[in-house]
Structure 1
Amino acid sequence: MSDVIYPRESVYNLIPKEESPIQKPSRYVSKFRPNVVRESKSSKNAMRMMGPAKVEVPSPDKFLKKHSKEHKLPEKTHRSKDACCTVRKPPVPARTDHPPMGIHTKRDFVKTTVAVPMKPQPISVDTHKGHKQPLENSGLVPKYIMKKDYGEVPEYLQQRNEEERRAQEEFNNFVREQREQGAMKHLSDEERQAVLEGLKSNWDKLHHEYQGLSLFIDTLSKKAHKERLEEAMKQLEKDISLFERFRTIYIPDN
Structure 2
Amino acid sequence: MAETFYPQESIYNLLPDLLDAEKPKHSTRFRPAAIRLDDKVSKIAMKTMGPAKVETPSPEKYLKKHSREPKLPQKKEGPRRTCTARKPAVPLRSEQPPAGRKSPKAATAPVRPRPSAASVDTNRGHKELLEHSGLVPKYVKKKGYGEVPQYLQHRGEELQRSAEEYDKYLTERTEEGPMRRLSDEERRANLESLKKTLAELQDKYRRLPVVVDTLTRKSRKLQLEAEMKQLESDVELFQRFKTIYIAK
Q: Shorter-chain-normalised TM-score: which range? A: 0.3 to 0.5
Give me the TM-score of the superposition, normalised by structure 2.
0.35
Larger Cα Rg: Structure 1 or Structure 2?
A: 2
Give me the TM-score of the superposition, normalised by structure 1.
0.35
